A = this chain, B = another copy of it.
Amino acid sequence: MKAGIIGLGAMGAPMARNLARTGYLSGVWNRTYSRAEAAARELSVTCAHDPAELARLVDIMFVCVSADTDVLEVMQAMQPGLNSDHVVIDVSTVSSDTARRAARMLAHSGAAFLDAPVSGGVEGARKGTLAMMVGGDETVLNRVRPLLEAITGRIVHMGEVGAGQGAKAVNQVMAAGINQAVTEALAFGQAQGLDMKKLVDVISGGAAGNWFLEHRGLTMTQGLFAPGFKLALHHKDLKICRQMMIGLGVHAELVDKTLKEYADLMEQGCGDEDISALYRLKKPQ
């Protein structure tokens, strides 16, 4: 199997490296073409001129972009190069609806589609320790599993097309709430004058322990907000989640609060910072 990847951003680039390391990667494409050229040189693979050309080179197409419209545009653009032997795997975070629309678009060519969003940050993408939530046909998943395992060992089949994005939406809501929890609590610790390094260390080992505290706790209290996961992107995801939650009639109070606070921060020019920049609004004055 030969793989191509579209989208070489903060998450796509390290995934491409891991695919290249195992020998699966044959080509890349990126909207900002210079980035694709640089990656192709680094990884000694082909730099395609458009998504359809990349599709003709490979069997398995990975897509790792930011927005729902980007995913649909890329699907459209690769169509001329696809046939029924192709599997398209979208690792972007978009809505379940977009996943289902993408699958329907590909049905013309006979190509199979999996939605396979991931969580675990840029660290997880680099180290190959992401959590991957897969929606789509399980036989197809098993066929491409060796390639997915080049990206991460933690792969869970959630159900039909869209179920991967459904699980990722839950993940994004939980991440918002945890951001609220960690920022409010650490501000309290800093106001007490506690040693923040020791505090983060000890709490990480107990019943309030969490990934976000371990990876972003200390830096946020030092005023360091390099992404990581850009606040404006989480804001985009949470807007989609909120729509889904309202539709299902479940509480979305933490999501509402986080959307409002992220919007305030974006207005202050912090949209490109890590989501831990929420600490700016919580830290002791």
Contact = CB atoms under 8 A, between A and B. Distances in A.
Copies in the complex: 2
Contact of A184 (B159, B177, B204, B249): B177
Contacts of A169: 188, 192
A202 B163 CA distance: 12
Interface residues of A, number: 74
Contacts of A212: 207-208, 210
B120 A252 contact: no
B119 A250 contact: no
B241 A188 contact: yes
A174 B208 contact: yes
A224 interface: no
Contacts of A249: 191, 284-285
Interface string A233-269: 0000000010011001111111101000000000000
Contact of A188 (B118, B186, B205, B250): B250
5 contacts: A131-B209, A167-B199, A171-B208, A174-B181, A210-B211
Interface of A: 118-121, 124, 129-133, 154, 156-159, 163, 166-167, 169-178, 180-182, 184-189, 191-192, 194-195, 198-199, 201-213, 215, 229, 241, 244-245, 248-255, 257, 281-282, 284-285
